[in-house]
A and B are shown apart, each in its own frame.
Chain A
Amino acid sequence: MGRTTRVARQIRWYIGALMGDSHYRRYVEHRARTHPGEPLLTEAQYWRMRHDQQDANPSARCC
């Protein structure tokens, strides 16, 4: 793996983790670890739940 690919991958990983692209994957991994074999939410359902949660429990943005 060349240096450029590695850096590009790091940047992609960073943006993905910061913006939330990898959140669903983390959720799946978390469920597999803690509740193996139990049903999972689909990605669309997962994000619905996330947004409902944000609706019920808003977090501030600063000035």
Chain B
Amino acid sequence: MSAPTAEPSEHIEETKGDVTYIRTEKDLPPVAIVDRSPITARHKLIFGAVAIVGAIAWAIIAFFRGETVNAVWFVIAAICTYVIGYRFYARLIEMKLVRPRDDHATPAEIFENGTDYMPTDRRVLFGHHFAAIAGAGPLVGPVLAMQMGYLPGTIWIILGAVFAGCVQDYLVLVISTRRRGRSLGQMARDELGAVGGAAAIIAVLAIMVILLAVLALVVVGALAESPWGVFSIAMTIPIAIFMGLYLRFLRPGRVSEVSLIGVVLLLGAVASGGWVAGTDWGADWFTLSKVTLSWCIIVYGLAASVLPVWFLLAPRDYLSTFMKVGTIALLAVGILVARPVMEAPAFSQFASNSSGPVFAGSLFPFLFITIACGALSGFHSLISSGTTPKLLEKESQMRLIGYGGMLTESFVAIMALVTAAILNQHLYFAINAPSAQTGTTAETAAKYVNGLGLSGPPITGAEITDAAKSVGEHSIVSRTGGAPTLAFGMSEVLHQVFGGASLRAFWYHFAIMFEALFILTTVDAGTRVARFMLSDGLANLGGPLKKLRNPSWRVGAWACSVLVVAGWGSILLMGVTDPLGGINTLFPLFGIANQLLAAIALTVVTVVVIKKGQLKWAWIPGIPLLWDLVVTLTASWQKIFSGDPKLGYWTQHFQFRAAAEAGKTSFGSAKNADQLNAVIRNTFIQGTLSIVFAVLVIIVVLAGVIMALRAIRGKGSELTEDTPVPSKIFGPSSLITTSAEKEVQKQWDALPASHAKSVGISAH
């Protein structure tokens, strides 16, 4: 922590009351403020009131029965818990574990180049970080988890974020910032040694491939047989290309301007989609089967990953950032104005058994797997390391960015959960049960869901068809994957506030379009990142493969892209052709993969904490790590060894194989020999992947345990933290600037313009 600085530098401290001002150069204003003022009576009252209101909201959610809980209580419970968590738990972590040093320069300041390294205003960086971590994940997981009722999901999303997800994001950001913004893979190699590091890198790559496959599967589930949806998402491609050309040749740098034009065009595309889908040619061109659609996404993913960034990826990213912030705000306003009432029970009958149609498995561990993003998402560690430290202005801002950013994502997940919980439960299961159960028509679906024993009056086939018609679709039966359910719920909320029943179909397709937009952006970017990891990894093998290290060698880049796309593409095709329903079997694998990535990140963090001699506080990342390991390894264990064919991939595999060997042509959900072989092949791949993930993570964790034990015995390898460089800029720590910070900011602003300023992008 207090390693001596290499270069001679001044360190002048000046204390006035509870506030200490630190300068690194005597002619410059202070670069850091350490405020030790005790909490004021006013703040005590405010936080006391927040805690009481939060407790009331929690009590209403948890104990009020009769299915008439208002959605607003969820919003209140969430926000109050976040405020308390941020003010007290995050502050504890900051004080005991992080101990930010604002007199040390961040990577953004050290390497500032006006391009990718840029100290950025904390509020702007918060927006950046949030846009990078939030996507379709927190919207989809809570919807699927609604199968078990709203209460378990709500508790996990809120408490999981406060004690696990935010802690991971925050602490990964901390250790990466103190290592010049190194990536998670590099830090794993540095801290865990060669074997642990190599296992971590392979695990990250394998996990990315499965994540991309399942996200693509969600898009396919939302767009199949929906000409309106396919048309509006297809239009994003020419719109993005137009934006790319505009920025490159017409008006470079006018990003908000072109994004605004893009959003208007996009809304036009969604609005005109209904008309296009109504024409003969429109229905003809844009009604695509799941398999065709999968091939379209595979070809698109490959093309997008080898085309130059400015042409498609960058403009599409601008669009998706704009849409993300806008839509989430819109949904929050919608929920607060419409104040819908819960239709789902607190606990459904599927909470206590493992026979739920949406995803297989019991509440523990599978609920905690299904809701990954929004509570604890390992993927975030890839953003918190590498990307965000390059823009971070001050160490003390990491709490706002890392912890606060994840709290915001958790809030998005709560809104998604509310949106699914206000739907008629019969309708919910008609949309989310696989077609093997619902039998694809409205009548068979009605019969199936009425047989589930749900609360509320039974539904008729005509009612299901009417629901589909109300959002401009022919059918909504077995539209699995979560996205259509969320879109349906959003149209329910938003049409009450904006536009009435006539805009319902528009809002549905608007929601489908933005989810697909996020996911396709993730698929583009993820394919590129995975390609780079792959070429980097292969180059390390040496020999002729060393050539791969040169990023301008196009043949190598293309070959690696093809390999990555083949990886996720084949899993995607496997998912769409699976007679058991792809989401039902693959989504748990997605959750396990994401949470195992979190285990790797938390292992690295815990080892660093122990190496620094902070064993006493190692429980802060240690408890979420332990919980995450218990959850994911139990889930992996069940997926590999469970004797229940609904749950265990291998039991299923051997049952179907035995059936095939006995000469049967149909067995279980497989209706013919092809489907039988598909199940045998798919369960083999899924089972193998489960084993690979679990083994890799166990290797990483063992490497971590060995390193930690060595460190405790005092024989540990050295910490790889870089020598601090004195900072020469200033920036406020929290969202709200304190009076001491305002004072110092004024002194910096008064300096001549040529001087190293704080962040030169302030509003004045």
Binding site for B on A (CB under 8 A): 9-10, 13-33, 36, 43-44, 46-63
Q: Which residues from A are CB-within-8-Å of B606?
A: none
What 1/0 mask marks residues of chain B from 711 to 741 whose CB sits below 8 Å from any chain A CB?
Answer: 0000000000000000000000000000000
Considering the chains assembled together, what is the distance between the CA atoms of A29 and B760 in angstroms? 8
Which residues 298-344 of B sit at the A interface, judged by CB distance below 8 A? 308-310, 313-314, 317-318, 321-322
The residue that B377 contacts in the complex, of A32, A44, A57, A62, with Cβ under 8 A, is A62
Considering the chains assembled together, what is the distance between the CA atoms of A19 and B377 in angstroms? 25
Considering the chains assembled together, what is the distance between the CA atoms of A24 and B114 in angstroms? 8
- The residue in chain B whose Cβ has the minimal distance to the Cβ of A18 is B127
Q: Which residues from B are CB-within-8-Å of A30?
A: 112-114, 118, 760
Known contacts A54-B309, A58-B532; is A33 also within 8 Å of B756 by CB?
yes
The residue that A63 contacts in the complex, of B248, B255, B594, with Cβ under 8 A, is B594
Which residues 219-257 of B sit at the A interface, judged by CB distance below 8 A? 247-248, 252-257
Q: Which residues from A are CB-within-8-Å of B128?
A: 18
User: By the criterion of a CB under 8 Å from any partner CB, how many residues of chain B are at the interface?
Assistant: 67
Considering the chains assembled together, what is the distance between the CA atoms of A26 and B255 in angstroms? 15
Question: Of residues B115, B132, B136, B379, which shows the largest number of chain A Cβ atoms within 10 Å of its Cβ?
Answer: B115
- The residue in chain A whose Cβ has the minimal distance to the Cβ of B314 is A51
Known contacts A58-B532, A59-B387, A60-B529; is A33 also within 8 Å of B377 by CB?
no
Which residues 352-410 of B sit at the A interface, judged by CB distance below 8 A? 373, 377, 379-380, 382-383, 386-387
A31 to B379, Cβ gap below 8 A? no
Q: Which residues from A are CB-within-8-Å of B215?
A: 63
The answer to the question of B528 belonging to the interface, with a C-beta cut-off of 8 Å to chain A, is yes
Q: Which residues from B are CB-within-8-Å of A23?
A: 114-115, 118, 253
> Nearest-CB distance from B558 to chain A (Å)?
13
> Nearest-CB distance from B11 to chain A (Å)?
24
B318 to A19, Cβ gap below 8 A? yes
Considering the chains assembled together, what is the distance between the CA atoms of A3 and B27 in angstroms? 36
Considering the chains assembled together, what is the distance between the CA atoms of A44 and B522 in angstroms? 27
Considering the chains assembled together, what is the distance between the CA atoms of A31 and B310 in angstroms? 24
Q: Which residues from B are CB-within-8-Å of A55?
A: 308-309, 551
The answer to the question of B39 belonging to the interface, with a C-beta cut-off of 8 Å to chain A, is no
Considering the chains assembled together, what is the distance between the CA atoms of A31 and B255 in angstroms? 22
Considering the chains assembled together, what is the distance between the CA atoms of A44 and B216 in angstroms? 34
Considering the chains assembled together, what is the distance between the CA atoms of A50 and B128 in angstroms? 16
Q: Which residues from B are CB-within-8-Å of A56?
A: 551-552
The residue that B382 contacts in the complex, of A31, A44, A60, with Cβ under 8 A, is A60
Question: Of residues B120, B124, B321, which shows the largest number of chain A Cβ atoms within 10 Å of its Cβ?
Answer: B124
B256 to A62, Cβ gap below 8 A? no
Binding site for A on B (CB under 8 A): 112-116, 118, 120-121, 123-124, 127-128, 131-137, 211, 215, 247-248, 252-257, 259, 308-310, 313-314, 317-318, 321-322, 373, 377, 379-380, 382-383, 386-387, 519, 521-522, 524-526, 528-529, 531-532, 551-552, 594, 754-756, 760-763
Considering the chains assembled together, what is the distance between the CA atoms of A1 and B387 in angstroms? 37
Considering the chains assembled together, what is the distance between the CA atoms of A55 and B215 in angstroms? 23
A60 to B379, Cβ gap below 8 A? yes
- The residue in chain B whose Cβ has the minimal distance to the Cβ of A24 is B253
Question: Of residues A9, A32, A57, which shows the largest number of chain B Cβ atoms within 10 Å of its Cβ?
Answer: A57
- The residue in chain A whose Cβ has the minimal distance to the Cβ of B115 is A50
B383 to A60, Cβ gap below 8 A? yes
Q: Which residues from A are CB-within-8-Å of B112?
A: 30
Q: Which residues from B are CB-within-8-Å of A46?
A: 115, 252-253
Considering the chains assembled together, what is the distance between the CA atoms of A10 and B531 in angstroms? 39
- The residue in chain A whose Cβ has the minimal distance to the Cβ of B123 is A14
Considering the chains assembled together, what is the distance between the CA atoms of A49 and B256 in angstroms? 19
Known contacts A18-B128, A26-B114, A33-B756; is A61 also within 8 Å of B317 by CB?
yes
B115 to A62, Cβ gap below 8 A? no
Q: Which residues from A are CB-within-8-Å of B310?
A: 47-48, 51
Instruction: Provide 19 A-B residue pairs closer than 8 Å at the C-beta atoms, listed in order of the A residue.
Output: A10-B763, A15-B256, A19-B322, A20-B253, A20-B255, A21-B255, A24-B253, A26-B760, A26-B761, A30-B118, A31-B114, A32-B754, A47-B248, A51-B309, A54-B309, A57-B116, A62-B135, A63-B377, A63-B522
Q: Which residues from B are CB-within-8-Å of A51?
A: 308-310, 314
- The residue in chain B whose Cβ has the minimal distance to the Cβ of A49 is B115
B255 to A61, Cβ gap below 8 A? no
Question: Of residues B137, B253, B522, which shows the largest number of chain A Cβ atoms within 10 Å of its Cβ?
Answer: B253
The residue that A18 contacts in the complex, of B124, B383, B755, with Cβ under 8 A, is B124
Considering the chains assembled together, what is the distance between the CA atoms of A10 and B124 in angstroms? 11
Q: Which residues from A are CB-within-8-Å of B761?
A: 13, 17, 22, 25-26
The residue that B373 contacts in the complex, of A27, A44, A48, A62, with Cβ under 8 A, is A62
The residue that A17 contacts in the complex, of B124, B133, B313, with Cβ under 8 A, is B124
B256 to A53, Cβ gap below 8 A? no
Considering the chains assembled together, what is the distance between the CA atoms of A24 and B573 in angstroms? 43
Considering the chains assembled together, what is the distance between the CA atoms of A14 and B259 in angstroms? 15
Q: Which residues from B are CB-within-8-Å of A16?
A: 256
> Nearest-CB distance from B89 to chain A (Å)?
23
Question: Of residues A20, A26, A32, A60, which shows the largest number of chain B Cβ atoms within 10 Å of its Cβ?
Answer: A60
B247 to A62, Cβ gap below 8 A? no
